[in-house]
Structure 1
Amino acid sequence: MNKKLIFPKRKKKKSRVQNKMGKAPGTISYTGDKERSDSIIFSTAYNTDILEINEFKQLDQFLAKKNKGLITWVNVVGISDEPFIDRLGKHFNLNPLVLEDIVNTEQRPKIDEYEDYIFGVFRMLYITPEDEILGEHIAFVLLEDTVLVFQEVKEDVFNGLRDRISNKLGRIRSKGSDYLFFALLDAIVDNYFLAIENLNHRIEVLEDEVYQNPEPVVAQNIQQLKKEVLKIRRWIYPVKELISRLIDSENPLITKDTKLFLRDVLDHAIEINESLQIYREMSMSLMEMYMSNMSNKMNEVMKVLTIMASIFIPLTFIAGIYGMNFDNMPELHYKYGYYCVWGVMIILFVGMIFYFKKKKWL
């Protein structure tokens, strides 16, 4: 008697959407896939004469620190510590919906203006040593003298900005928090150009492979590239509109001088969007080129096979006739009949090869 096998049920991992379902708006629920860890605050406070750089692993230590009269860049690394984010948000009187978006790593780029602050979500793109484009969720809160930055991992694109602050390069030490907000946004947008260059290089490589060696793996690479272009476009495309909103905003947190610099970021965002549109069309046309080249390659093979079949059809016809087992076939008793048949077949073979070459079919 056969026993019925009973397999244990596997626990299904909840998706990010399922993690948020049924929860009230404003609920702080981390949706990322990074390993949960404690949040760390890197604080940079400055003016034209003073620079204070501190690291706080305990939130109470940061809250006890006072930076009156200084512009403060509060860089929070790690957003999976939900109680930490909740306490920090309440300290700065942030709306619960803002805190929800800070820990929602799937949040699309956005800008929301509140009475006392401006909140923004963007994607920070950078290239890994393996030449892969990664997109990290990053959130900003612009206050009167403070800019809060929330990111998942410590790696970012702000090292150049940190050097400018430390070495008093440029005008940043003499400007307000709105200029710091612009500088952070400018660093993110400038790094988009590296991602665009990476896509351009990969498209050029695939174009060469499509023409020289259109193997099935090339089609897989093209499909992967198309998905990546669409993903990056979804991250970058809204940025142009968001920057335009900041320029047109009448919020007193952004001064007229800073709006002039934001126009430069807007120009870069427009250029990047135009390049992305071109690369999107090129990635789609690559598949058409691949299919066309594969079809041409197949046609070449079929042409050779057809020519070979055309050459051997008359030879097979002759061999078939003299392979019949009839007694009354005069040529079968001819002394040199075998050699004559071979001669005719060779002449036909050489003649047809010469004819095909003359027609440029070979």
Structure 2
Amino acid sequence: MPPDAPRQKRKTERITAEFNLPGKDGDRSFSTSSARFPTVSVICYGPDSFEEREVREPADLIGYLANWPVTWITIDPPGEGQEARAAIENFAKLFNLHELEVEDIVNVHQRAKVEEYGEHLFVVTRMLIDTGVVETEQLSMFLGRNYVLTFREVGSDCLEPVRDKIRKGRGRVRQEKADYLMYAIIDAVVDSYFPLLTTLADRLDDIEDHILEGGDDEAAATMYQIRRDLLSIRRAIWPTREALSSLIRDTNPYLSESTRVYLRDCYDHAVRIIDLVEMYREVGSALMEVHYQRASNRLNEVMKVLTIITTLFIPPTFIAGIYGMNFNSEVSRLNMPELNWVYGYPMALITMALVSAGLLAFLHMKGWLRSKPRTKRSTN
């Protein structure tokens, strides 16, 4: 249940004065445009209870903001650009969002960042979405005195563990204020990168085995895709690290010192992710080099075999070429008298075979005919 009802009227009046609500002097009235309404879910909670539901009008939020210690509002704008702007117009008025903040919400290709706008703190981060390839979704957050307002790019996120903690009263989130909720959201976003990195590490191990067992062009294509995924992760997490550093370093009234301690742990996680990405990229580069080196070695082996075959046929070709000049032995006894021998032809063949065999033995003695043993990965 909400806090004491006798104080509800005073709290409602205070909230009405704090936010840009109808009835406030000089305010703008809410728009009644025909824009599609966004999906709005609300989770309100205190140490001993919580409430979760969807709302249809911005004014419906006033009771939650007035009567609960912390209110988490999640809005999914329909569409993008002007369509999304029209859909969230009333909520932007309610929370006094600056037009530049609204611009950042609807243009969903922002880098992670932190900005302070008088009445609230604006944080943009990027969370992973599972589409079979590495893609990120923008998550825009606003931290106020007793609320966290989040705008999602699409209707899914990685924040269900945070909601479960609120519903079940696990962890510290129900005992803390809104700034801790913002930390919990950012921490869930950052930690969602680890399972993907584990998957990419397993794929790297599989590709390493495949390459060492002979590999093919498919391994190279897969390796290229993994490197692109790692680059996408790096582009998303690097600005997030800088945003966390700004939250920890800069002094503002929205974050308590106790929450900054947890943000430092989140910052360490972001640094760890960057280190893993760099390490896996180096492993990927090394595997690509190994793959191309093995492909080059295979080509060299083929060229060596062709060279040996060509070398073995040089003596017979030379002998056949000499006796193919067709000098008439009747004109001069110096003109290939062996052409008239009874065993001339067999002797020519035997000579060709002996010279080729001798050349083959010579190449074997030099080690040209020995194939290198295939490298196997150690299982120890």
TM bin, normalised by shorter chain, reads 0.7 to 0.9
| Residue 253 in structure 1 maps to residue 275 in structure 2 | no
Residue 207 of structure 1 is matched in structure 2 by 208
User: Which range moves more in the overlay, 273-282 or 102-111?
Assistant: 273-282
Deviation at 1:194, TM superposition (A): 1.8
Deviation at 1:158, TM superposition (A): 1.2
- Cα distance change, pair 247–79 in 1 and its aligned pair in 2 (3 A): farther
CA contact 2:127–2:137 (8 Å) conserved in 1: yes
- Aligned pairs for 1:123-202 (under 5 A) are 123-128=126-131, 130=132, 132-202=133-203
Give the secondary-structure state (helix, strand or coil) at the position aligned to 2:193: helix
Give distance in 2, aligned partners of 1:113 and 1:323.
94
Query: Residue type of the partner of 2:41?
Result: F
Residue 110 of structure 2 is matched in structure 1 by 107
Give distance in 1, aligned partners of 2:58 and 2:247.
33
Residue 347 of structure 1 is matched in structure 2 by 354
CA contact 1:40–1:78 (8 Å) conserved in 2: yes
- Cα distance change, pair 190–37 in 1 and its aligned pair in 2 (3 A): farther
Give distance in 1, aligned partners of 2:282 and 2:60.
49
User: Which range moves more in the overlay, 201-210 or 322-331?
Assistant: 201-210
Give the secondary-structure state (helix, strand or coil) at the position aligned to 2:64: coil
Residue 71 of structure 2 is matched in structure 1 by 72
Residue 46 of structure 2 is matched in structure 1 by 47
Give the secondary-structure state (helix, strand or coil) at the position aligned to 2:92: helix
| Residue 337 in structure 1 maps to residue 344 in structure 2 | yes
Give the secondary-structure state (helix, strand or coil) at the position aligned to 2:364: helix
Residue 97 of structure 1 is matched in structure 2 by 100
Structure 2 gaps of 5+ residues are: 1-34, 330-335, 370-380
Deviation at 1:38, TM superposition (A): 4.5
Aligned-residue CA RMSD (Å): 2.1
Deviation at 1:284, TM superposition (A): 3.5
Give distance in 1, aligned partners of 2:184 and 2:62.
27
Query: Residue type of the partner of 1:326?
Result: F
Residue 272 of structure 1 is matched in structure 2 by 273
Deviation at 1:209, TM superposition (A): 3.9
Give distance in 2, aligned partners of 1:358 and 1:69.
92
Query: Residue type of the partner of 2:124?
Result: V
Deviation at 1:202, TM superposition (A): 3.1
Query: Residue type of the partner of 2:151?
Result: F
Residue 311 of structure 1 is matched in structure 2 by 312
CA contact 1:209–1:218 (8 Å) conserved in 2: yes
- Cα distance change, pair 359–257 in 1 and its aligned pair in 2 (3 A): same
TM-score (norm. length: structure 1): 0.83
Give distance in 2, aligned partners of 1:203 and 1:119.
38
Give distance in 2, aligned partners of 1:203 and 1:37.
45
TM-score (norm. length: structure 2): 0.79
Residue 368 of structure 2 is matched in structure 1 by 361
User: Which range moves more in the overlay, 323-332 or 109-118?
Assistant: 323-332
Aligned positions, number: 324
Query: Residue type of the partner of 1:108?
Result: R
Give the secondary-structure state (helix, strand or coil) at the position aligned to 2:192: helix
CA contact 1:79–1:150 (8 Å) conserved in 2: no
Residue 22 of structure 1 is matched in structure 2 by none
Residue 236 of structure 2 is matched in structure 1 by 235
Deviation at 1:295, TM superposition (A): 2.1
Give distance in 2, aligned partners of 1:169 and 1:225.
36
Query: Residue type of the partner of 1:91?
Result: L
Superimposed CA distance per residue, residues 172-198 of structure 1 (whole angstroms, 9 cap, x where no aligned partner)? 111100010010001001111122223
- Cα distance change, pair 187–94 in 1 and its aligned pair in 2 (3 A): same
Residue 62 of structure 1 is matched in structure 2 by 60
Deviation at 1:341, TM superposition (A): 1.5
Deviation at 1:37, TM superposition (A): 6.7
User: Which range moves more in the overlay, 185-194 or 82-91?
Assistant: 82-91
Give distance in 2, aligned partners of 1:134 and 1:62.
34
Give the secondary-structure state (helix, strand or coil) at the position aligned to 2:135: strand
Query: Residue type of the partner of 1:75?
Result: T
Deviation at 1:205, TM superposition (A): 3.3
Deviation at 1:101, TM superposition (A): 0.6
Residue 29 of structure 1 is matched in structure 2 by none
Deviation at 1:144, TM superposition (A): 0.8
Calculate percent identity across the aligned residue pairs.
38
Structure 1 gaps of 5+ residues are: 1-35
Residue 90 of structure 2 is matched in structure 1 by 87
